Amino acid sequence: MMRKSIRFASAASICLLAAVGLAGPGNADENCEGSIAGSVLAPLPAPVLVQLDEPVEDSANPELARRLISGLQRGGVAAISDGAGNVGLSLAISLPPPPGNAQGPPAGTYRNLGWVNGEVTPNWNVRGTKLSLSAEATNLGTASLAWVGTLECTVTTADPGALAESLGFAIGRTIGR
């Protein structure tokens, strides 16, 4: 049921993770404490060259997209921002309301980094938020879903850039296994 060569993370992917078993569970990262797990569903091209499923400049916050790419690279996978990759990565991030009286993004499920669009106000804070992330990596050469992953964590930073890089690092470390 491939509608596009790049797919958005879905509930079916999460169910598929449970069906095939979770390969490579591990800790998320220092800015989001929790766990991450992923599963390879089909061969990834060699070498893996990850690109986000939307151009960096078209993302809700290009600077955070660059930080996510930096985290992917730090996690051990080659990642680029110019759209010449062989693996497309898409994310779905679910957030509950900000804890306490904190100002932050509205509760909801967001594509990629859409929950942090434009400038972040000084009062904006997601520290203490329980973040859920689903990720899908598509082999762009075969247009097939190759890897799915989930991350559940509690945000321990108020810096959205550090959080984006940490999420990228956790994903990169897991895809790279």
Task: Give mean pLDDT, residues 99-113.
Answer: 76
Domain residue ranges of the chain, discontinuous segments joined by +: 11-175
Q: What is the pLDDT of residues 10-56, one digit of tens each?
A: 333 333 333 333 333 445 567 899 999 999 999 899 899 999 988 88
Bridge partners (DSSP) listed for residue 63:
none
Map residue 130 onto helix, strand or coil. Answer: strand
Burial of 99 (0-12, 13-18, 19+ CB in 10 A): middle
In the block, residue with structure tokens 């850039």: 161
Task: Give mean pLDDT, residues 123-149.
Answer: 90
User: Does CATH place domain 11-175 in 3.30.160?
Assistant: yes
- CB 108 within 8 Å of CB 94: yes
Record the pTM.
0.78
Model confidence band, residue 151 (pLDDT cutoffs 50, 70, 90):
very high
pLDDT of residue 37: 92
